[in-house]
Copies of this chain bind each other. A is one copy, B any other.
Amino acid sequence: MKQITIKDVAEAAGVSKATASRVLSGHPATSPEARKAVEAAAGRLGFRPNAQARSLRNTRTQTIGLLLPDVRNPFFGDLAHAVEQRARSFGYMTLFGNANENVEQQDEYIDVMLSQRVDGVIAAPQGDGGNLSQLLRSGVPVVFVDRVLDSIKVPSVSPDNSTGIHDAVKHLTARGHRRIGYIAGPQSTSTGRERLRSYKEALAATGADTDADLIFLGDFQAASGAEGARTLLDLANPPTALLAADSLMSIGAVGVCNERGIAIGTDLAFVAHDDIDAFTLINPPLTVIAHDIDAMGRLAVDMLMSVIGGGSPASHTIPGRLIVRGSTPEFEKERQS
C-alpha cells in the first residue's frame, strides 16, 4: 500500500509542496484559500506526515527514551506510567527500554535510543561503564531517576532513602523490637547503599542490636528476598522484625513467611518498601516506606524538558514516608500470647 506524501496532498490541493507544508505546520504566511484546499486534501487522503523525514530535517524527534531495570516491578511500572503520561502532555512519545536488570540489554537500548535520536533520556542507571558513558558524552539531555551515579553529575530525581528508614526503625524499637533484620539492595546501586547506611545509622541511634548477621545482601529481585528471609529466620537468634529494601524483595520475603506458616503481624513484624496495591491486600496489610512515585515521574519529565530547553535544573529528592499498618505489632504482645 502506497503511503500518501505531502506531494500528493499538494497536487490534490493544486499548490506546491512548500505551501502545503506551511499550511500543515501552521506557518502564518498562508492564504485562507490555500489553507482550506490543503486541509481538505489532507483530510480526504488521510495524510500522515512521515516522522522520519520530518525529524531528519529538524533535529527534533519529539521522543524521549525511558530506560528502566524492569517494567514488571510494580514500582517501575507505576513510574513508567507517570513518565509516559507527563511526557504525553508535552507532546512527546516515550520509547521504553527494559534493561531486565542487565547491563548488556541496557547497552543495547542506549544504542538504539541514540540511533533513534531521542531528544532526551530518563534512566535508572545500572553500572557506570559501557554505553552509559557514551550516552553522557553524546550530549543528549539525560536525567537520572531513582538511582544516581556518584561519579557523574547529571540532574536527578531520587527517593529520600533516609527519613523513611529512620522512622521505620524508630517505630519498630518503640514497639519493643531490638533485633531487626534487614534485606538490603545491591551495593552497586546508590539506592541500595544509602538505604543500608540509613539502616545502620538508625540502629545506632536507637540502640537496637547491630549484629552483622542481621543484614542480608539481596539484589532487588523477588528470589533474593525469599533467600534473605530464609537466611535471617534460620539464625540461631532470629530477628523479631524484618525490613526489606524494595517491593520485589518484600514479595519474596512475605512468600517465605506464608510458606513457613509464620504469621506476619503476629509472629513477626514486617516493613516493606513502596506503597504497592498488593501490600494492602495482605492480611494484615503491610506497613511500608512509601515515596510518591507519580511525583517522581512527573518531576523527572519536567526536569528533562528543562534540560532540553537549555536549563540545568537542580536535583530533587522525593520525601519518604512511613505508613503504619497492621504488620508491625508490639513485640511484648507477641511474647505474652
Asked whether any CB of chain B lies closer than 8 Å to the CB of A48, the reply is yes
Compute how far the CA of A43 lies from the CA of B85 in the bound complex, rounded to whole angstroms: 37
Give every chain B residue within 8 A of A115 (Cβ-Cβ).
48-51
A25 at interface, CB cutoff 8 A: no
| Bitwise interface map of A from 5 to 45 toward B, beta carbon under 8 Å scored 1, else 0 | 00000000000000000000000000000000000000000
Chain B contacts for A81, CB-based, 8 A? 70-72, 98
For residue A277, which residues in chain B have a CB less than 8 angstroms away from its CB?
A: 222, 251, 278
Stretch of A88-96, A157-165, A202-210 contacting B (4+ beta carbons < 8 Å): A88-96
Q: Are B50 and A56 in contact (CB under 8 A)?
A: yes
Q: How far is the CB of A73 from chain B (nearest CB, A)?
A: 9
Docked pose: A209 CA to B310 CA in angstroms: 67
The smallest C-beta distance from A326 to any residue of chain B, in angstroms, reads: 10
Contact between B61 and A72, CB atoms less than 8 A apart? no
Q: Of B51, B72, B114, which one neighbours A48 at CB under 8 angstroms?
A: B114
**Taking the complex as formed, is A77 at the interface, i.e. its CB lies under 8 A from any CB of chain B?**
yes
Within 8 Å of chain B (Cβ to Cβ): is A138?
Answer: yes
Interface contact A255-B278, CB-CB below 8 Å:
no
User: How many whole Å from A251's CB to the nearest CB in chain B?
Assistant: 6
B285–A258 CB distance below 8 A = yes
CB nearest neighbor in B for A258 = B283
Can you spell out 27 A-B residue pairs with CB atoms less than 8 angstroms apart?
A: A46-B138, A49-B115, A51-B52, A51-B116, A52-B53, A52-B55, A52-B61, A52-B117, A53-B56, A56-B56, A71-B77, A71-B84, A72-B74, A72-B77, A72-B81, A74-B77, A84-B96, A85-B98, A93-B95, A93-B116, A95-B95, A251-B281, A258-B280, A263-B283, A276-B278, A282-B282, A282-B283
